[in-house]
Amino acid sequence: MRIPRWRVGLGVLVAVLGGAASGGSASGAASGKVPVVAAEDFWGSIARQLGGEHADVTSIIADPDTDPHDYEAKPSDGAALASAQVAVVNGIGYDGWADKLLAANPSSSRKVVTVGDVVGIKDGGNPHQWYSPRTVNAVIDAITNALKQADPAAAAYFDTQRQAYRTDGLKRYNDLRAQIKAQYGGTPVGASESIFAPLADDLGLKLLTPQSFLTAVSEGNDPTAGDKSTVDKQIAGKQIKAFVYNSQNSTPDVTALVDKARKAGIPVATVTETLTPRGSTFQDWQATQLQSLADALAQGTGKAAAPLSAAPAPASATTAAGSEASASTGGDVAAAAPAAPAAPAAAPLARTGASRGWLLLAGAALLFGGAGLIAGARARSRAQIRGA
């Protein structure tokens, strides 16, 4: 259910007044770290890992039960943004309340990363750009550059963090994307709303659900009768091999579609609007959903998933974020549990050396043990001779 816009406007007004009255600084400024405020936790998670020990990152929307489309700003939000040195907002009409708070508390030293501006998408476009790997890659650069401008002395550190995040932190996320595209590219799928569209495009999947239906559900409007009929036929005729729905925006129409898909034997995979479970890293959250999608596609197409689908997340990704491990998003197709971290390329040599050492020790033990057995046999033989 959407909150009336006048309520959102009133909430923003209250938050603006609270922010203007606070005049304080974020906790990061006092600690020598760059105070960073992200409107949503998916961008906040990325900023936290890029900033590392030189940034103090706060995400305003961090509750999986909150609908960011209709978030009602609080006075504490205005205070946080007023004192941020770096602010990260989505834009594209997704978090207009954040734009209003920033405008009400201007600062010449604050760096603002607006995702829509970074990738050139204006209001009316698909706002769910954290589901576009291309956009994520561009935002990583934009946040890193903003951090470097806020703290030039730590520029080299931020560059290192960016490289580590791309090569290690996002490895499983990137591997799963490559695997799905290679195995299931061109597979027809359906979705409940536009949130899945950027990812479907990246994965090479054929999203059959009408764009007008996806947009209507995403914006809280009723799809047309014609679109509903089209989607119903796609499910009844099993024209799609999997159905993906946003569990945080499950309208009666969407619930009915999910039920129809299940009854038709079409696997259902789930995605969410914000990090789930709360406190997950961006990459763990996305990888869990990608794994669930891969399993749904394997079930729907009858094509067995490649061994890569069970690949573990890099240890560095979790270590850098300092967050809890990811869990299933609650879809019909459960994601595989993370395995032990993969060893680096140089590990086999280290293991070979260690194994050789153990072999030497084992050989020595056998040698001394054999000598002991021989000595014992000789002693028993002598005793028998004496007894005779």
- Domain co-membership, 81 together with 207: no
- Domain co-membership, 155 together with 274: no
Per-residue pLDDT of the chain (388 residues; tens, 9 = 90+): 333 333 444 444 444 444 444 333 445 555 789 999 999 999 999 999 999 999 999 999 999 888 887 899 999 999 999 999 999 999 999 999 999 999 999 999 999 999 999 999 999 999 999 999 999 999 999 999 999 999 999 999 999 999 999 999 999 999 999 999 999 999 999 999 999 999 999 999 999 999 999 999 999 999 999 999 999 999 999 999 999 999 998 888 899 999 999 999 999 999 999 999 999 999 999 999 999 999 999 999 998 866 654 444 443 333 333 333 333 333 355 433 333 333 333 333 233 333 333 333 344 443 334 444 334 444 443 334 333 3
- Domain co-membership, 97 together with 112: yes
Closest to 281 (Cα-Cα) out of 318, 312, 246, 316:
318
In angstroms, the first-to-last Cα distance of the chain is: 101
- Domain co-membership, 181 together with 55: no
- Domain co-membership, 230 together with 161: no
C-alpha 358/C-alpha 14 separation (Å) is 69
- Domain co-membership, 88 together with 176: no
C-alpha 73/C-alpha 58 separation (Å) is 15
- Domain co-membership, 163 together with 210: no
| 180 Cβ neighbours under 8 A, 6+ residues apart | 203, 205, 290, 293, 294, 297
With respect to residue 385, please indicate whether it lies within any of the assigned structural domains: no
Return the structure tokens found at 288: 């869990």
- Domain co-membership, 11 together with 69: yes
- Domain co-membership, 138 together with 219: no
For residue 345, what is the enclosing H or E element?
Answer: none
Q: In which domain, by residue range, is 271 found?
A: 172-321
- Domain co-membership, 147 together with 243: no
β-bridge partners, 246: 271
- Domain co-membership, 134 together with 183: no
Q: Is the peptide bond before 277 cis (omega within 30 degrees of 0)?
A: yes
With respect to residue 64, please indicate whether it lies within any of the assigned structural domains: yes
| 348 Cβ neighbours under 8 A, 6+ residues apart | none
Return the structure tokens found at 222: 């009723």
State the CATH number of the domain containing residue 143: 3.40.50.1980
What one-character DSSP code corresponds to residue 195?
G
Which strands make up the sheet holding 188-191, listed edge to edge?
206-207, 188-191, 243-246, 268-271
- Domain co-membership, 199 together with 260: yes
What one-character DSSP code corresponds to residue 365?
H
Distances (CA, A) of 153 to 25, 56, 83, 109, 163: 20, 16, 20, 16, 18
Of 146, 169, 192, at which residue does a domain stop? Answer: 169
With respect to residue 333, please indicate whether it lies within any of the assigned structural domains: no
With respect to residue 346, please indicate whether it lies within any of the assigned structural domains: no
With respect to residue 339, please indicate whether it lies within any of the assigned structural domains: no
Of 150, 169, 188, at which residue does a domain stop? Answer: 169
With respect to residue 366, please indicate whether it lies within any of the assigned structural domains: no
Amino acid at 73: A
With respect to residue 18, please indicate whether it lies within any of the assigned structural domains: yes
Of 288, 321, 354, at which residue does a domain stop? Answer: 321
**Do 301 and 333 meet the contact criterion of CB atoms below 8 Å apart?**
no
| Its pTM surpasses 0.85 | no
The answer to whether the Cα torsion of 146, 147, 150, 155 is positive or negative is negative
Closest to 17 (Cα-Cα) out of 89, 71, 73, 95:
73
Residue reference for tokens 């508390």: 105
**Do 84 and 37 meet the contact criterion of CB atoms below 8 Å apart?**
yes
With respect to residue 380, please indicate whether it lies within any of the assigned structural domains: no
Q: How many domains does the chain have?
A: 2
